[in-house]
Amino acid sequence: ETVTGPGERQVDSLCPFCGVGCQLSFQIEKAPGGERIVSVDGRDGPANHGRLCVKGRFGFDYVASPERLTVPLVRKPGAPKRPVFGRVPANWREQFREASWDEALEIAGGGLAAIRDGTDGHPVHGPRALAGFGSAKGSNEEAYLFQKLVRTGFGSNNVDHCTRLCHASSVAALLEGIGSGAVSNQVADVMQAGLIFVIGANPTVNHPVAATWIKNAARRGAKLVVADPRRTELARHATRVLQFRPDTDVALLDAMLHTIIAEGLVDEAFVRERTRDFDALRKAVAHCSPEAMAPVCGIPAELIREVARDYARSRASMILWGMGISQHVHGTDNARCLIALALVTGQIGRPGTGLHPLRGQNNVQGASDAGLIPMMLPDYHRVGDAQAAAAFERAWGMALDREPGLTVVEIMNAALAGEIRGLYVMGENPAMSDPDLHHARAALASLEMLVVQDIFPTETAVLADVILPASAFPEKTGSFTNTDRIVQLARQALQPPGQARQDLAILVDIARRLGLDWTYAHPREVFEEMRGLMPSIHGISWERLEREGAVTYPCPDETSSGEPVVFRERFPTADGRGRFVPALPSPGAELPDADWPMTLITGRQLEHWHTGAMTRRATVLDAIEPHPTVSLNPRDLAVLGLAAGERIRVASRRGEIALVARADDGVPVGSVFIPFAYAEAAANLLTHPALDPFGKIPGFKHCAVRVTAIH
Ligand code: SF4
Per the model's pLDDT, the better-predicted residue between 32 and 101 turns out to be 101
Q: Which atom of ligand 1 is nearest to the CA of 15?
A: 1
CA of 197 to the centre of ligand 1 (A): 21
User: Ligand 1 centroid vs 361 CA: distance in angstroms?
Assistant: 10
Using CA atoms, how far residue 31 sits from 57, 206, 473, in Å, is: 20, 33, 19
Distances (CA, A) of 98 to 72, 111, 127, 426, 467: 6, 18, 29, 19, 10
User: Which of the four pLDDT bands, split at 50, 70 and 90, describes residue 345?
Assistant: very high
Whether the Cβ atoms of residue 12 and residue 25 lie closer than 8 Å to each other: yes
Per-residue confidence band for 648, with pLDDT thresholds at 50, 70 and 90: very high
pLDDT tens profile 284-333: 999 999 999 999 999 999 999 999 999 999 999 999 999 999 999 999 99
Distance 48 CA to ligand 1 centre (A): 8
Q: Quote the ligand 1 centre to 42 CA distance (angstroms).
A: 10
Give the Å distance between the CA of 370 and the centre of ligand 1: 22
* Sequence-separated (6 or more) residues with CB below 8 Å from residue 12: 1, 23, 24, 25, 43, 491, 549
Judge whether residue 340 has pLDDT over 90.
yes
> From the CA of 21, how far away is ligand 1's center (Å)?
6
CA of 328 to the centre of ligand 1 (A): 25
- CA dihedral 480→678→499→32, nearest 10 degrees, is 100
357 strand-pairing partners: 321
Q: Which amino acid is at 201?
A: A
209 Cα nearest atom in ligand 1: 5
Arithmetic mean of pLDDT, 224-252: 97
Q: pLDDT band at 711, cuts 50/70/90?
A: confident
Indicate if the pLDDT at residue 7 is higher than 80: no
Task: Using most ligand atoms within 8 A of CB, pick from 55, 212, 488, 614 the residue to mutate for ligand 1.
Answer: 55
**pLDDT computed for residue 665 by the predictor:** 97
The closest residue, in CA terms, to atom 2 on ligand 1 is 18
Please state, in angstroms and rounded to a whole number, the distance separating the CA atoms of residues 146 and 363: 14
Pocket test residue of 52, 62, 363, 483 for ligand 1, highest count of atoms within 8 A of CB: 52
195-214 pLDDT, tens per residue? 999 999 999 999 999 999 99
* Å from CA of 205 to ligand 1 middle: 10
**Cα angle, residue 21 at apex, residues 17 and 27 outer, rounded to 5°:** 70
From the CA of 24, give the closest atom in ligand 1. 6
What does the DSSP assignment read for 476-527?
--EEEE-TTSEEEEE---SPPSTT---HHHHHHHHHHHTT------SHHHHH
pLDDT over threshold 80, residue 6:
no
Distance 481 CA to ligand 1 centre (A): 14
Rounded Cα distance, 674 and 685, in Å: 11
The band of 169, judged by pLDDT with boundaries at 50, 70 and 90, is very high
CA–CA gap between residue 326 and residue 696 (Å, rounded)? 10
**Confidence label for 527 from pLDDT (cuts 50, 70 and 90):** very high
For ligand 1, atom 4: residue with the closest CA: 22
Atom number, ligand 1, closest to the C-alpha of residue 16? 1
**β-pair type (478-481, 486-490):** antiparallel
CB 290 within 8 A of CB 296: no
9 φ/ψ angles, rounded to the nearest 5 degrees: -135, 160
How far is the centre of ligand 1, averaged over its atoms, from the C-alpha of 54 (Å)?
8
Q: Which residues contact 657 (CB under 8 A, 6 or more apart)?
A: 628, 649, 650, 651, 674, 681, 682, 683, 685, 686
Secondary structure (DSSP) of 232-289:
-GGGGG-SEEE-PPTT-HHHHHHHHHHHHHHTT-S-HHHHHHHEE-HHHHHHHHTT--
Report the pocket of ligand 1 as residue ranges, CB < 6 Å: 15, 17-18, 20-22, 48, 52-53, 55-56, 207-209
**pLDDT higher than threshold 80 for residue 109:** yes
Q: How far apart are CA 297 and CA 303, in angstroms?
A: 12
Ligand 1 atom nearest to CA at 57: 6
Amino acid at residue number 198: V
- List residues bridging with 42 in a β-sheet: 24
Pairing of strands 422-426, 130-133: parallel
| Helix, strand, or coil (residue 10) | strand
From CA 442, how far away is CA 459, in angstroms rounded?
A: 12
Length of the chain: 711
| Measured distance CA(597)–CA(628) in Å, rounded | 22
Ligand 1, pocket-test mutation among 43, 48, 57, 359, most atoms within 8 A of CB: 48
With the C-alpha atoms ordered 516, 519, 524, 529, is the resulting torsion angle positive or negative? negative
Dist CA 162 CA 152 (whole Å) = 21
In a 13 Å sphere around the CA of 33, the CA atoms on its Cβ side amount to 5
Q: What is the mean pLDDT of residues 569-580?
A: 97
Residue 1: the pLDDT is 77
Q: Is the ipTM of this complex over 0.95?
A: yes
pLDDT (0 to 100) of residue 141: 98
Q: What is the pLDDT of residue 33?
A: 82
When pLDDT is averaged across residues 562-586 and rounded to a whole number, the result is 97
Q: What is the position in ligand 1's atom list of the atom closest to the CA of 48?
A: 4
Residue closest by Cα to atom 3 of ligand 1: 53
Segment 57-83 shows an average pLDDT of 96
> How many whole angstroms from 24 Cα to the centroid of ligand 1?
10
Q: For the segment 654-709, what is each residue's pLDDT rounded down to a tens digit?
A: 999 999 999 999 999 999 999 999 999 999 999 999 999 999 999 999 999 999 99
206 alpha carbon to ligand 1 midpoint, in Å? 8
